[in-house]
Structure 1
Amino acid sequence: MAIVTLGLAEVNDEITTRPRGCPKCGSTLLQGWGTVPKPLRDPQLNEVRVRRFQCCDCHYTFRHYPDGVGPADQSLRLQQLAAICWVLGLSTRMVTGVLGVFAIQLCHMSVWRDVQALAAARSLPAPLASVHVLGIDGLYTSIRGQDTGIMVAVDMGTGRPIALARIDEKDRPALFAWLEALKELLGVEVLVSDDFNSYSTAAQRLDLQHQVCRFHYLRWVNRLLNSLQKKLDDEWDEPLNEVRQLLQDLPPDGGHRIYQLYRQVKAPPRIYNQPMSPLARLQKLLLRLSDNWSSYRLFLEQGDVPATNNATERAIGRWRARSRTVRGFKTWSGLVNAFTLCNASFV
């Protein structure tokens, strides 16, 4: 059975170092001013010894705390433990119940403040180098009771989220401006996404190479082909099977071959306010596949481009799994902090 070790902060009960200088004037000439006990909420310690110092220049008196201890009545270790329990799926009140079993009294708002504090120390990582391949996807959540669109950007090389924006994926001007800023900042050259039209349009407008998630396009194309096969005559079985085979093999000339199939389809004129005929739907599908063929097979030409957008989906999935027990968020900063923690590593 696998054993997971959480990297919690060490907490000392005694001072092991001297302060580097006065927090008020910076002077290094300090005089010891006594030792006082400090009650502490911690899984292992109930009390620590805190030393007081006085600056010999400005006469400012201050406290110097042991490692893992600060002015708060919680240790850093307890703050991390409470936040990790929340990340693992417990509500704030459930966290207080779990800690209460170990005689640690903590209110649910203190748990939420611990979550915010830990997230502030683990903000979304700034890329150390340029990001060649960027994965993006959108999601919706509730802020102050209102459904809000959010865009997530992930470095496909590391799989780590690097940007979060309060943008609806249907808002093209805002989406294009956000992606343009990321391109200039990170040097993005390839965009990986699902086949939502706004993403392909953004890739064309920003002169980015585009890889459409293979899982997404195979799913909807095969569903449509199966539906059309039930409505069309048997003579269309061979062309439909050829399209399926081309999507599996992804040959370089696949777009041209699908376009030739498109030219063979003679769909009847569409009648106003009437649904499209099966042949018209097939014709539209073939034209779309032909136009976007290069974005379906880019991963075969560049080794660092993934075939799917799974890295972005995983980042959102961690957030989805945690947000099921959350009614919503009051502030954007609180949501960003929660998303950051859900994708942080504590091992």
Structure 2
Amino acid sequence: MDNMRLKLILPVINPEQITKPEKCPHKKCSGKHFKVHQEVKKAIRDRKYTEVRVLRYECLKCRRTFRVYPQGVQKAHVSQRVKGMAVMLYVLGLSYGAVAIVMEALGVFLGKTSVYRAVQAAGKAVPGMKRTELFSGYRTKAIGADITRVKCKGKWLPVGVIVDPINGLVLSIDHLSGEDAEELQKWIEPVAEIVGAHTLVTDDADAFKQAADKSGLDQQVCKSHVVRNTEELITSISQSIETDKDTSLAQIHIEPSQALADLRRLSELIHSRQPNQQAEVQALYERYAQAAPPRKGSPASVAYRMRNLFLDRWNLWPRLTYYRTWKDKEGKPILDGTNNANERAIGWWVKERYRSMRGYKREQSVLNVSRLIAFCGNHLSKGLDLASIIP
């Protein structure tokens, strides 16, 4: 897997840039006309400035006053630039305590708790990335879904990640209460509806298949997962045919050489993955359809294992080859047939930062940090201006 990359732009402080208000900040007032009431000095914590000029405006409608700060300064005494530096250092892998030490070395005191608050506030300010609150107006024909787990308060917490598999953009990161088909449907269906998706890309888990069917979505299962799992099963069954004294093949009148040839053919089919080859996979299944199931408590015979393998791949074939049937106007596949976009998102935006931690202490922190890093990752091309999420 490629190394994680981020492009972050620190907030800028311009003491002379004070934007005149356009609307009264008080909720019950709709005033749009103001006059300067007072000019005051505000002490701030920053690497360059110790104080800035702040204007107090009076609303001509409600007569209340409010402060307007220069670019890069808010109500808090710590500048946006300092908070942005703290967030950036944490996102890049430093602990809260280590960030505080680095900030002090740079000449700005910012306690460990203040670093924590800055990171959590930035995570909360990330727009969208929730199953009920996605990017406004974003549309895509396909979504990819996968689940990972992180430790929180000593327990493993399931975290669901939904991406656009076409461009890799992260759409949603959510805590899941379970991993069954019903829970997955509740998670996936609203996202698909909001973005207008008709296709779901996942791994080969049965729960995802059931969720896709219940949600009325076409599905592409990851070809890499299926190929790898199929090859492992073929190797295991082939070894059993060559070494065991299993008589199940003889009971359905199939020679070991024929069984080995059938397994080799399945291997060829699973690598070529053409939609019109489903009938051939069906024929392989039908050759072993009469294999007897094992008695209770007994292992499955070679013939029955082959029956189940061929049956599963026959049923899976439309989901495995879907990407070959969905093409653009130039006849090129829209999907690559894998869920690599999901695995990259989990690896870069969830696991990479988590690896250097002993675990999270709050479930909300899991979401705040993961959404924050993923949001940064969504802006790789132009870079993310941290001022947009630093309160």
TM-score, with normalisation over the residues of structure 1? Answer: 0.89
Paired with 1:263 and 1:121, the residues of 2 have a C-alpha distance of 57
- Per the alignment, do residues 170 and 98 of structure 1 end up closer, same or farther by CA in structure 2, a change over 3 Å counting? same
Name the counterpart of 2:374.
343
Name the counterpart of 1:126.
135
RMSD: 2.5
- Unaligned runs of at least 5 residues, structure 2: 243-255, 327-332, 384-391
Paired with 2:322 and 2:139, the residues of 1 have a C-alpha distance of 20
Name the counterpart of 2:365.
334
Name the counterpart of 2:49.
45
Q: How many residues align?
A: 344
- Residues 1-347 of structure 1: pairs in structure 2 closer than 5 A: 6-20=8-22, 23-24=25-26, 26=31, 28-36=33-41, 38-54=42-58, 60-123=64-127, 124=129, 125-126=134-135, 128-168=137-177, 170-233=179-242, 235=257, 236-265=259-288, 267-302=291-326, 303-318=333-348, 319-345=350-376, 347=383
- Per the alignment, do residues 269 and 209 of structure 1 end up closer, same or farther by CA in structure 2, a change over 3 Å counting? closer
Contact 1:86 1:92 in 2 (8 A): yes
Report deviation, 1:221.
Answer: 0.9
Report deviation, 1:73.
Answer: 1.5
After superposition, give the CA deviation of every residue in 1:89-144 in whole Å (9 maximum; x if it has no partner). 11111111111211111111211211122223322251524331111111222344
Q: Secondary structure at the match of 2:357?
A: coil
Q: Which deviates more, 93-102 or 59-68?
A: 59-68
Name the counterpart of 2:252.
none
Paired with 1:323 and 1:4, the residues of 2 have a C-alpha distance of 16
Report deviation, 1:343.
Answer: 0.9
Q: Secondary structure at the match of 1:74?
A: coil
- Unaligned runs of at least 5 residues, structure 1: none
TM-score, with normalisation over the residues of structure 2? Answer: 0.80
Which structure exhibits the higher relative contact order, with contacts defined as CA atoms closer than 8 Å and separated by 6 or more residues?
2
Identity level (%): 30
Runs of 4+ in 1 over 6 A off after TM superposition: none
Report deviation, 1:46.
Answer: 3.0
Paired with 1:4 and 1:277, the residues of 2 have a C-alpha distance of 52
Counterpart residue type for residue 9 of structure 2:
G
Counterpart residue type for residue 161 of structure 2:
V
- Per the alignment, do residues 21 and 132 of structure 1 end up closer, same or farther by CA in structure 2, a change over 3 Å counting? closer
Paired with 1:21 and 1:169, the residues of 2 have a C-alpha distance of 45
- Per the alignment, do residues 270 and 73 of structure 1 end up closer, same or farther by CA in structure 2, a change over 3 Å counting? same
Contact 1:15 1:49 in 2 (8 A): no
